[in-house]
Amino acid sequence: MMERRHKRRTRGKPKKKKRFTALYISCIVLLLVAVGGYLFRKQLTLVAFDWFVSPTLESKLEKSYQPRQSKEQQPQETIAYQKEPFSVLLLGTDQRPNEKARGRSDTVIYAAVRPAESRVLLISIPRDTYVQIAGHDSNRDGEDDFDKLGHAYAFGGEDMSMATVEKLMEHKVDYYATINFQGIQDAVNAVGGVVLPIDQPIENKNPLHIKFRIEAGKPLYNGEEAMYYVRYREDSDFNRTKRQQIFLNAMADRLLNIDGITKIPELLDIMGANFTTDMEPAFITGLGKQAISQGNPQISSFTITGEGFKKKGLYYDRANEQELEYARLMIANWLDSDTTPQTLRLPDKQDIQ
């Protein structure tokens, strides 16, 4: 009887050993997969872009592609590796749903893009900045009218906005990209929310403004909260433009992962007519693939401040001339193809993500 017990014990040991060995091997395999996924996350994201995004992205972008009416654009060269710097005027409009009027540009950002280094410079210009609106002469005195920068879009759409910003910044704008705030709300909801650094509640208290309150410390904020975050202005126009830059960085972080990348075609469907650009679909797709292969882009931000004043009962913002000139010098440096990463001029006031 003792012999039978001993045999039973000896027969049970190999099974336990095999189970332990299988578990050990499984753990090693899982560890290797996890480490490999981390080390090769760029390659995996690029594969996801090629497999799930590229086949449909260009066709989706065709709906948003709107060449400018003011002049015939040169065909945009589609090459595997974009090297030359270029500029884009980013416009966020306040057009309400079902409104025929254009609305105004609530957000105006001059972006200098250096695709070879995956770097972007965002120069934010407050919408109330007092500027000469290029091509708008309402009293027909032969001089372009002075008005708020945001009104350029209402008077003449992207063309007039681009011409006005070119005149102000003394640098050419190559392309535009316009998004309606409804599009921002829908896009944020589509990616499951966005991370925003809100450490105290944000609340509209002015009785003339839309009532809302954004709670602090949430892990993710939904589309409506994100829209209110970028539009809140009861503290200052300067802080408002900084929030817009923070939001753009946060959305870029959200999209530049495998889950976010695969949702881009869906986002374009959701945004629909709320997003327009004169960058050709193949050009955008090529830039996206290049950015993924090179790693997350570095975004440097600068906001042109100013001093508020009233004229005929209306509030305007007079741009600080020193900061305006400083921004012009930075743009010249960033758009110069001979500028190296070592000689790239970074803003004194910057947020690099």
Kindly report the three-state secondary structure assignment for every residue of 166-182: HHHHCCCCCEEEEEEHH
The pair of three-digit structure tokens given for residue 125, joined into one six-digit string: 């210009």
Cα torsion angle, 206, 209, 211, 213, sign = negative
The pair of three-digit structure tokens given for residue 284, joined into one six-digit string: 């955008």
Residues paired with 86 in a beta bridge: 113
pLDDT per residue over 323-334, tens digit each?
999 999 999 999
Cα(307)–Cα(319) distance, integer angstroms: 7
Cα(353)–Cα(347) distance, integer angstroms: 14
Mean local confidence (pLDDT), 236-255: 83
Cα(104)–Cα(101) distance, integer angstroms: 9
pLDDT per residue over 25-51, tens digit each?
444 444 333 333 333 334 434 444 444
Q: Report the pLDDT value the prediction gives residue 28, as an integer from 0 to 100.
A: 41
Q: What is the pTM of this model?
A: 0.75
Task: Name which of 251, 243, 257, 245 is nearest 189 in CA terms.
Answer: 251
What class has domain 14-334? alpha beta
Tell me which DSSP letter residue 73 carries.
P
pLDDT per residue over 150-186, tens digit each?
999 999 999 999 999 999 999 999 999 988 877 888 8
Whether the CB-CB separation of 231 and 181 falls below 8 Å is answered with yes
What are the residue boundaries of the structural domains of the chain, listed by start? 14-334
Phi-psi region of 202 (alpha: psi -120 to 50; beta: other; left: phi over 0): beta
Mean local confidence (pLDDT), 127-132: 93
Task: Name which of 303, 287, 305, 275 is nearest 121 in CA terms.
Answer: 303
Three-class SS state of 5 = helix
- Cα 23 to the chain's mean position, in Å? 45
Cα distance from N-terminal residue to C-terminal residue, the chain: 74
Number of H helices, E strands in the chain: 11, 12
